[in-house]
Structures are given as C-alpha cells and as structure tokens.
Structure 1
Amino acid sequence: MQQFNGKNKEEFVHGVFSTIAHRYDLMNTTLSFNRDKYWRRYAVKETNLRPGGMALDVACGTGMLSIELAKLAGTSGRVVGLDFCENMLAHAERNIEKTPYKNNIQLMQGNAMELPFEDNFFDCATIGFALRNVPNIEKCIDEMRRVVKPGGRVISLELAKPSAPLFKQLYYLYFDRLVPLLGKLGVGKDGPYQWLPNSLKLFPHQSVIRDIFTKVGLKDAIYHELTGGIVAVHVGIK
C-alpha cells in the first residue's frame, strides 16, 4: 500500500482529483447507493448555521456540501468554498450556477493547511470526504478551529470504519474489490479509485479523530456514525 508524507501526498491527491473531477458527483452517488445526499444534509444540520450566517467549506470539491450550507445560510448569508484543485472548482462553479445560491457562494483556490482567513471569522467550518486526503489531519482541524468564531462548530463528514463483524467484512470486500473496478469503469482509467480503499485503511478510527478534535481545543467533541458506521460526522465546538 502506497504511503505519503507532506508535499508528496498533496501532489498525489491533486493528481487523483484532477483526473476524476468530471465524474466525481456521479461516482459518489453510485458508490454510496445514493446515500451521499443524506450524509451531507446530516452534516450540515450539525453546524447549527442560521440564516445570514457565514460558513467555510474546506476542500469543497464540486461544491455539493457548499450548496447544502447555502440552503441554511439563505440569501442573506455567505458560504466560502475552498479547494486546491482547479478542476474540482470548475465543476463546483457549474454546479452552483444551477442553484438559487450562486450569488451567496464564493469559490476560491487555497490550501487546507494554511487557510487564508483571519481568526474567528466564520460561524462554522466543514470538510466533507477530504480529511483522509490532507497531509496533516491535526493541522487541518486546528486551522478550521482557528477561523471559526467562539461558539462556532467544526464539522467533518468522512468515511469511517464499521465495527459490526459481518457488515464490516462485506463492506471491506466491496471497498477493496468492487469500488476500484466501478471507479475504473466510471472514469475510464485504472488507479484513481484504488486510492479510496487505500486512504481509508490509512485513516484513523473515528474515535481517534474525535480525540484530535479535543486535542486542538474543540469542546464537546463527538461523532455520529451513519449507515452502519461506514460514515462518521464529527462535531466540535470552539
């Protein structure tokens, strides 16, 4: 299994997402059996974002979580979607143009390791299906904590590790064998979707991520397991 550190991981992940950007949304829906929409709605509900609020969506990808945030922030609110991959941002722009929130979502290119915002700026910060991909999980979460106002929430929506024995075996069989195959059929290239199961194996258990939330100073850190524990939503309060 390939492992990375720092800049090498950034470059590799950038290449992966540049390759799959054109099929990212379709593959997410297909591989999750259409559960990804529910997962995003659940995560956004946990932000406690109110109409007129300001939200940051870190590693926003194609903008689907940013759009869900904009639904809560409303026409008087603002959502900033930040990603380091130009191809993903281009697809995000097209997705957002189809919504009533195109004037309320600002997209920008940037690095999750060094968020280009002042302290205590946003009402909440989210990251969806990207914490596995950052070079330093603790630094990313700490950066999100830094830019959120006191009382605001940091939310991570991410793949998790189910514990039920039979379900766990079936899940990893699907992830290890079928996901790379379906990914190859979807994007027409072998390799990019092999990163999905590999990245999950390298990613810490959801209890460890909760402890990292606590370590960086987020209060009342908790996680919610969804769909049998294949996904976890972590919540921490500044």
Structure 2
Amino acid sequence: MIDENKYNKTHFGFRLVSKKHKELMVANVFNSVAANYDLMNDLMSFGIHRLWKRLTIQFSCVRRRQKVLNIAGGTGDMTDKFSRLVGENGIVVLADINDSMLKIAREKLRNNGYINNIIYIQANAEVLPFPNDIFDRIIISFGLRNITDKEQALQSMYRVLKPGGCLIILEFSRPLFIPLKKFYDFYSFYILPKIGKLVTNDESSYRYLVESIRMHPDQDTLKAMMLNSGFESAEYFNITGGIVALHRGYKF
C-alpha cells in the first residue's frame, strides 16, 4: 500500500512536517527575526555576506533599463543596488513571501530615496504572479532553501524569465574541505544559535536556519534541478570554500 502521507511531507530543518504547514512555520521564523535581520547577518557571517552579495550583483550583469526580479529580497539590500543599476527607466521587483520583511524593505529603501523604480510584491516563488517572459534577470539570495517545492519554484522562475535572460541563485552549500567543514559545523550548530539567543532572544529560529542549510541540495544537485527545470548552460561557482555557491542558468 502506498503511504500518501509521505508525499505530503517536507523538511522544516531536520523535522518532517506537512507541506501545507511549512510555509506558515517559515513565515513565523522570519516574522521573529525580521527586526534584527540585517544585524544578525553581519554578526553571523562576520560581514562576509556583504562580499558574497557584491559578487552576486557583479555576476548578474544587470544593466540600465532592464527588468529585474529579486525573489526573497528580504530587507532590500540587494534590491537597493539593482535599483541604481537599472536606472530611472528600469524596474526592480522586490518579491518576498513575508510581509514583515517587505515592510522593513519599504521603509529602508524609501529612506535611501529609491522608490520610483522599485515595486514591492508579497508573493510565493512557487506561483509567481507575473506574465510569461517578462524579466531580464532573476536573482534569489539565501531564499531557495526555505521554499517548500524548489522544483516548482524553479519552473515558475523559468516561466517569467525572458528568452536570453538568466537566473542567479546565491545560497549556502557544501564546504569543499574537511577541516573547513568541521569548523563550519561546530560554529553553525553550537555558536550561531547562541548568538541568535543573545541578540534576539530567539535560539530556535536560528537553529532552523542552520538545519535548513544542511537539508538544502548540494552544488551538483541544484545544478541538475536547474537543468531539469529548463535552464540551459547551468553552472556554479564556489565561494569561501563552498560555504556558499553561486549558480547561474539561462533561458534561450
């Protein structure tokens, strides 16, 4: 007899939960961490996340007048840069499933003066609410691992990408070297959640974030998923010894 329940399950960190509940559980995590999100990113990565994102922006080759979709855009740090690159005649859509993050992004980016070419949309990456073939670039940074159905999300991204456009994924991945992996595991499981507890009084959310990284597909698996979703010339580049990886795929 086929156990239908197992096909309705997915991972929330190391825990198996129903797919319909994971979205709410992830939302609760980001509602909890939103107020201190930028500060914690700096603390957890020793500021290196800024370099990772800077490389991603350079790698995307965003140009003036383009339409850019920044999925899981969070508090808008990358959207800010894309807004400057596309200029007055371009458009950047900051899409995030979490309303708390979007509110922070709106306030921060408006204070920076970039409001005319940015659109804010609360959206699920699995069912993007846009027409076919509309965006020149799609960038998702540290968000794919939180999506329940990654394959469906990749297909949705492919649908809204213009022919000739590309998808850029920046995400935590698998360290390449054993000594680095051992240090990374120790830091992630024993130190990072304690930082979360000290700064935000929320250890469990940061423990989930650590576990979600371990459950995310490795470099080659994600590349294969992109190819299976229709992207061509998919490739990846390891950064900081594979702690993060930058994937790129095209729609021709």
TM-score, normalised to structure 2's length? Answer: 0.91
**What residue number does 2:218 align with?**
205
Count how many residue pairs are aligned between Structure 1 and Structure 2.
238
**What residue number does 2:237 align with?**
224
Identity, in percent, stands at 35
Give the Cα–Cα distance (whole angstroms) in 1 for the partners of residues 216 and 18 of structure 2.
13
The answer on 1:75 being equivalent to 2:73 is: no
Give the Cα–Cα distance (whole angstroms) in 2 for the partners of residues 234 and 195 of structure 1.
23
3-state SS in 1 of match to 2:182 = helix
The answer on 1:50 being equivalent to 2:63 is: yes
State the Cα distance separating 1:5 from its structure 2 match.
4.2
**What residue number does 2:193 align with?**
180
The equivalences for 1:93-172 within 5 A come to 93-172=106-185
Q: Does the CA-based 8 Å contact 1:5-1:135 persist in structure 2?
A: no
3-state SS in 2 of match to 1:42 = helix
Give the Cα–Cα distance (whole angstroms) in 1 for the partners of residues 245 and 111 of structure 2.
29
Q: Does the CA-based 8 Å contact 1:63-1:92 persist in structure 2?
A: yes
**What residue number does 2:206 align with?**
193
Give the Cα–Cα distance (whole angstroms) in 1 for the partners of residues 128 and 51 of structure 2.
28
Give the Cα–Cα distance (whole angstroms) in 2 for the partners of residues 205 and 5 of structure 1.
23
State the Cα distance separating 1:101 from its structure 2 match.
2.1
- Residues 1-31 of structure 1: per-residue CA shift (max 9 Å, x gap): 3133422211110000001000001101111
Q: Does the CA-based 8 Å contact 1:138-1:212 persist in structure 2?
A: yes
| Root mean square deviation, CA, Å | 1.2
Give the Cα–Cα distance (whole angstroms) in 2 for the partners of residues 5 and 147 of structure 1.
28
The answer on 1:16 being equivalent to 2:29 is: yes
3-state SS in 2 of match to 1:3 = strand
More moved, 117-126 vs 74-83? 74-83
**What residue number does 1:3 align with?**
16
3-state SS in 2 of match to 1:46 = helix
Give the Cα–Cα distance (whole angstroms) in 1 for the partners of residues 187 and 18 of structure 2.
27
3-state SS in 2 of match to 1:154 = strand
**What residue number does 1:25 align with?**
38
- Residues 174-223 of structure 1: per-residue CA shift (max 9 Å, x gap): 01111111011121123110111110111111110011111111111011
Q: Any gaps of 5 or more consecutive residues in structure 2?
A: 1-13
Give the Cα–Cα distance (whole angstroms) in 2 for the partners of residues 237 and 92 of structure 1.
28
3-state SS in 2 of match to 1:62 = coil
Q: Any gaps of 5 or more consecutive residues in structure 1?
A: none
Give the Cα–Cα distance (whole angstroms) in 2 for the partners of residues 92 and 7 of structure 1.
27
3-state SS in 1 of match to 2:126 = coil
- Residues 70-98 of structure 1: per-residue CA shift (max 9 Å, x gap): 23212221100111111111111122113
Give the Cα–Cα distance (whole angstroms) in 2 for the partners of residues 4 and 129 of structure 1.
21
- Residues 17-76 of structure 1: per-residue CA shift (max 9 Å, x gap): 001000001101111111111111211222222111110011111111211222321222
